[in-house]
Amino acid sequence: MAALVSGRSLLTSFALIISSAVAIPSPATNTACRALAVAVPGRVTFPGEPAYATENADYWNVGLRTDLPACITLPESTEEVSTIVKTLGRHPRAIFVVKSGGHDPNPNHSQIPDGIVVAMKKIKGATYSSVANVAFVKPGGPWADVLTSLEDSGVAVVGGRLGVVGIGGYLTQGGLSFLGAQYGLAATNIRAFKTVLPNGTIANITPESNKDLMTAMRGSGAQFGIVTEFTMDAHKIGQVWGGMRIFTANNAATIFKGLHSFIANGDPKAAIITNAMTVGGQQLYMVFYFYDGAIPPAGTFFELEKPFPLLNQVKTQSYPALLAANGVGVNATGSSASFRSITLPYLNDIPEVYSLINDQWMKILAPYFTTVTGLTTTIAYQPLQASLAQASAGRGGSAMGLTATDGHRFILEINCLWTNPSQSDIVYAFSRELTDWVEKQLPTWKTLQAQRAVLTPAGSAAGASAALARKVEDYVPLFANDATGDQDVLGSYKDVAKFAALQKQMDPQGLFAKSGGFKFGPALRG
């Protein structure tokens, strides 16, 4: 093991030297860096300085740590962010990205080789107003810190499921939470965005001040400026029940059965993340459980209560303690990392759909178990129930466009870790192979669903919930936080044309249209 680790760090150092040697920021970017150093003295750091090294080492995807930017700005206030954006506006040929937690694994989203990183690390913390029952959440730092600082007030906001996750990207790109089926996507819990707009002015965007912009910002990433504070609805919370359990692969059928039952029938106070992990051709199942209460009623997790776990961390605890426990070790993968995602309708009469996907993934992966160094993959099957869509719509909705009449869905997240950065293209390609295959199967699965529904018209349940379970949702927008850079996430939103026009109106210079993250792309150009 020690030999492996030192071999890996040697490789990383070598890659660092190579990429340092070839790093040539454009003259426009160099000029902008120098202008920033004058505009916000003491807040800009350059290669070779300790603050630069610390910030650049703070990416979850280790592969991004060798993408060296020309300079990094570390503002400490909204006013400084405003000065930075105004300065960038005077240097439109310089390239820049916004970074909060640095957990987005996609190249050029919160990291940019030879460009400028506006890092929000120092704008952090959360406070609670009992009068308005809202929390003021800053974008820097991890979710665990936010929830811990709200704990004494007995409230929580809808945030990440693992305490280590960053805040700014999570919230501006949607946000799946253990509290989502009760209160909606995290972004729909935002009451106001304190934002530095593309022209550098500071605005407090609310549904009252600009309803369309509010909706667009709830899920479009960094396309409308840099958010320096989120005003979020607070929710009462006490002791919760949850944690992780690991199961052997012979429990797969029971686990998928439980997942299928849960998506259509789960209590909104409960949540799960069902993960199939593959290392060297062997699989393990890692399931995260959550219940908003000290003890869940028996049967809350259906068949997921049955298998005997290899490891069991589930217990009654505080919400921040649960999130902290869920994040242990997650930042220390030492690997390159990728996400890819697809959203699928719930197919009530095809309970085998999860194992079909899993089998196909094993087939796709087979040639790579031994050829891609250090390969570990995890497929997360994440419920996106109708209750979450209803709660999201009830809070004014988000850019993703979920509505109160939507059917159940689930989100597939493919996460790969590998240790040889030169193999990244291989990993991206085989991850794409799975989402392409799923997309191709979907029409067949929908036909099969319709046929089986005719054969057993009564189904397993009766009434409205049975009808909802059988509703095959046609609108399946991609989920930004789990997607890869080449997926047209914003183009999958039903209101993309409206949001793209708004982006053009807010940012006529196109400053943020070319900055990091998902973009309106063809919709903006067209």
- Whether 90 and 39 have beta carbons less than 8 Å apart is answered as no
- In the bound complex, what is the minimum distance in angstroms from residue 359's beta carbon to ligand FAD? 26
- Token pair in block for residue 246: 């690991």
Name the one range near ligand FAD by CB under 6 A: 172-180, 201-209, 302-310, 360-368: 172-180
Residues in contact with ligand FAD, total (CB under 6 A)? 35
Q: Give the C-alpha separation, 68 to 117, whole Å.
A: 10
- Token pair in block for residue 80: 């400084």
Q: Which is nearer to ligand FAD, 251 or 424 (by Cβ)?
A: 424
- Whether 471 and 390 have beta carbons less than 8 Å apart is answered as no
Is residue 330 at the binding interface for ligand FAD, with CB under 6 A as the rule?
A: yes
**CB neighbour burial string for 434-444, b if at least 16 within 10 angstroms, e if fewer:** bbebbeebbee
The 252-291 site mask, x for binding ligand FAD (CB under 6 A), equals ----------------------------------------
- In the bound complex, what is the minimum distance in angstroms from residue 168's beta carbon to ligand FAD? 3
- In the bound complex, what is the minimum distance in angstroms from residue 223's beta carbon to ligand FAD? 8
Name the one range near ligand FAD by CB under 6 A: 87-95, 169-177, 235-243, 367-375: 169-177
Beta strands per DSSP E along 104-257: 116-119, 126-129, 134-137, 155-156, 190-196, 202-205, 226-233, 235-236, 240-248
- Residues 6 or more apart in contact with residue 523 via CB below 8 angstroms: 490, 491, 496, 497, 499, 500
Q: Give the C-alpha separation, 310 to 406, whole Å.
A: 37
Comparing C-alpha atoms, which of 76, 26, 69, 75 is closest to residue 48?
Answer: 69
- Whether 438 and 301 have beta carbons less than 8 Å apart is answered as no
User: Which one-letter DSSP state was computed for residue 65?
Assistant: G
Among 166, 198, 407, 485, binds ligand FAD (CB under 6 A): 166
Is residue 411 at the binding interface for ligand FAD, with CB under 6 A as the rule?
A: no
Which 485-524 positions form the footprint of ligand FAD (CB under 6 A)?
516-517
10 Å Cβ neighbour count for 370? 10
Among 94, 112, 147, 167, binds ligand FAD (CB under 6 A): 167
The 78-107 site mask, x for binding ligand FAD (CB under 6 A), equals -------------------xxxxxxxx---
Q: Which is nearer to ligand FAD, 75 or 296 (by Cβ)?
A: 75
Tell me how many degrees the CA angle 137-269-304 measures, rounded to the nearest 5.
120
- Whether 134 and 233 have beta carbons less than 8 Å apart is answered as yes
Is residue 222 at the binding interface for ligand FAD, with CB under 6 A as the rule?
A: yes
Q: Which is nearer to ligand FAD, 169 or 307 (by Cβ)?
A: 169
Is residue 110 at the binding interface for ligand FAD, with CB under 6 A as the rule?
A: yes
- In the bound complex, what is the minimum distance in angstroms from residue 378's beta carbon to ligand FAD? 10
Is residue 226 at the binding interface for ligand FAD, with CB under 6 A as the rule?
A: yes
The 49-78 site mask, x for binding ligand FAD (CB under 6 A), equals -----------x------------------
Among 165, 187, 314, 323, binds ligand FAD (CB under 6 A): 165
Among 69, 163, 168, 320, binds ligand FAD (CB under 6 A): 168
- In the bound complex, what is the minimum distance in angstroms from residue 59's beta carbon to ligand FAD? 8
Pairing of strands 116-119, 96-99: parallel
Q: Give the C-alpha separation, 457 to 460, whole Å.
A: 9
- In the bound complex, what is the minimum distance in angstroms from residue 103's beta carbon to ligand FAD? 3
Q: Which is nearer to ligand FAD, 58 or 151 (by Cβ)?
A: 58
**Can you name the residues that pair with 315 across neighbouring β-strands?**
242
Q: Give the C-alpha separation, 14 to 123, whole Å.
A: 33
Binding site for ligand FAD (CB under 6 A): 60, 97-104, 109-110, 120, 139, 160-162, 165-170, 172-176, 221-222, 226-227, 330, 481, 516-517
